[in-house]
Amino acid sequence: MNPFKFSMAQNQSQAVNMLVSNNSAALLGGGTNLLDLMKEHVAAPTELIDITRLELKTIEKNALGISLGALAKNTDTANHPIIRSDYPLLSKAILAGASAQIRNMATNGGNLLQRTRCSYFYDIAMPCNKREPGSGCAAMEGFNRMHAIFGWSDQCVAVYPSDMAVALSALRASVRVLQQDGSSRNIAFDDFHILPGQHPEKDNSLKHGELITSIEIPENKLAAHSAYVKVRDRNSYAFALVSVAAGLALEGARIGDAHISMGGVAHKPWRALKAEAFLKGKTASTANFRAAAKAEMAAAKPLSHNKFKVEMGINSITNALEMALKG
């Protein structure tokens, strides 16, 4: 780990000011990913600003839905009585990720800012455009079994690792951010994480000097019919090969609105827009679920080692929708 100055922010504006005054400073939440990256010399901030003492830990209902404090822990969020009863998809997705110890440490804002677990990104002896722009992508021709099948570019084929974010994408959340000038802005979840394009070094649309203050989830009618399916190499404590967050807003036997997002397949939580559009107004049946899944996965562009993810995606979407229907 490179030497760094340790600072503690007492309030939000102080945190933003400290961040603005040092271009190579980073905010420290749970640290479960950042510290690991620093040990591997992938990240080398010259200053860490501990923001865990800020008052951004509340989870509360409001007129539009529910607001999750950026510094509330993943464990507390997943176990919050209102989240469990009204947004069980989010609880399930959080609990599908990491281990109990890590969920006790990880914050909601930090979860969104996790970096890819692509092994070439972590290995500083290998080229990686995300870590070192212009150095090349070792995964493209290397071992890319875990990598993307949607939205990748010739610069980067990495996938985004969070489970929580897949549920937030399906729940059509937004991210509230405090800006340098003291004002706030809301970023729609679909716009928060970005595809790699020609700049894979950027994971999201957050600017240096901005602080996530909360995640806002609008009210929905999915609580009784939602499911999170995660397919992985071992039963627990592993990143997804493919995951699916699904919710159905039913109107009798028909689907008023289908919410489907995927993890483990792209550089961001992948909204299954084609599948969602296919299902709108249709009868909730396995045949329709499978047809929707096939419509979505038809556009997949697998790499040399991950063709299996296409069929796995079809089965996982179908399975998640069946589970959501059953409730």
Q: Is 39 in the site for another protein (CB under 8 A)?
A: yes
Q: Which of 12, 14, 22, 95 binds another protein (CB under 8 A)?
A: 95
Which residue lies nearer to another protein by CB, 4 or 143? 4
Of the candidates 201, 28, 18, the one whose C-alpha atom is nearest the C-alpha of residue 121 is 201
Q: Is 81 in the site for another protein (CB under 8 A)?
A: yes
Least spacing, CB of residue 167 vs another protein, in Å: 12
Q: For residues 149 and 309, what is the distance between their CA atoms, to the nearest angstrom? A: 8
Least spacing, CB of residue 84 vs another protein, in Å: 6
C-alpha distance from residue 211 to each of 18, 108, 269 (Å): 11, 12, 21
Q: Which of 58, 101, 184, 186 binds another protein (CB under 8 A)?
A: 101
Q: Which of 10, 11, 85, 135 binds another protein (CB under 8 A)?
A: 85
Which residue lies nearer to another protein by CB, 6 or 253? 6
Distance of CA 108 to the CA centre of its chain: 10
Q: Which of residues 233-252 bind another protein (CB under 8 A)?
A: 235-237
Q: Which of 9, 42, 43, 105 binds another protein (CB under 8 A)?
A: 105
Q: Is 31 helix (H, G, I), strand (E, B) or coil?
A: coil
Look at the block and give the residue holding tokens 């493919």: 242
Q: Which of 19, 25, 27, 32 binds another protein (CB under 8 A)?
A: 32
Are 288 and 217 spatial neighbours (Cβ–Cβ below 8 Å)? no
Which residue lies nearer to another protein by CB, 82 or 298? 82
Q: Is 50 in the site for another protein (CB under 8 A)?
A: yes
Are 245 and 89 spatial neighbours (Cβ–Cβ below 8 Å)? yes
With contacts defined by CB under 8 A, name the span among 1-9, 135-143, 197-205, 284-292 that binds another protein: 1-9
Q: Is 123 in the site for another protein (CB under 8 A)?
A: no
Are 265 and 161 spatial neighbours (Cβ–Cβ below 8 Å)? no
Q: Which parts of the chain fold into alpha helices (H)?
A: 12-20, 34-39, 74-78, 81-86, 88-96, 100-105, 108-112, 119-122, 138-141, 164-170, 189-192, 273-279, 286-297, 308-326
Q: Is 308 in the site for another protein (CB under 8 A)?
A: no
Q: Which of 31, 45, 142, 209 binds another protein (CB under 8 A)?
A: 31
Of the candidates 104, 86, 66, the one whose C-alpha atom is nearest the C-alpha of residue 95 is 104
Q: Is 74 in the site for another protein (CB under 8 A)?
A: no
Which residue lies nearer to another protein by CB, 84 or 274? 84
φ and ψ at 74, to 5 degrees?
A: -55, -45
C-alpha distance from residue 84 to each of 81, 87, 283 (Å): 5, 6, 27
Q: Which of 3, 63, 183, 207 binds another protein (CB under 8 A)?
A: 3
With contacts defined by CB under 8 A, name the span among 29-37, 152-160, 166-174, 180-188 that binds another protein: 29-37
Of the candidates 174, 33, 12, 219, the one whose C-alpha atom is nearest the C-alpha of residue 117 is 33
With contacts defined by CB under 8 A, name the span among 72-80, 164-172, 182-190, 193-201 that binds another protein: 72-80
Pairing of strands 211-218, 65-69: antiparallel
**Edge-to-edge, what's the strand order for the sheet holding 240-251?**
226-232, 240-251, 254-263, 270-271
# binding residues, another protein (CB under 8 A): 37
Q: Is 98 in the site for another protein (CB under 8 A)?
A: yes
Least spacing, CB of residue 1 vs another protein, in Å: 5
Residues of the shown chain interacting with another protein in the complex, contacts defined by CB under 8 A: 1, 3-6, 8, 28, 31-32, 35-36, 39, 48, 50, 52, 75, 78-79, 81, 84-85, 88, 91-92, 95-96, 98-102, 104-105, 223, 235-237
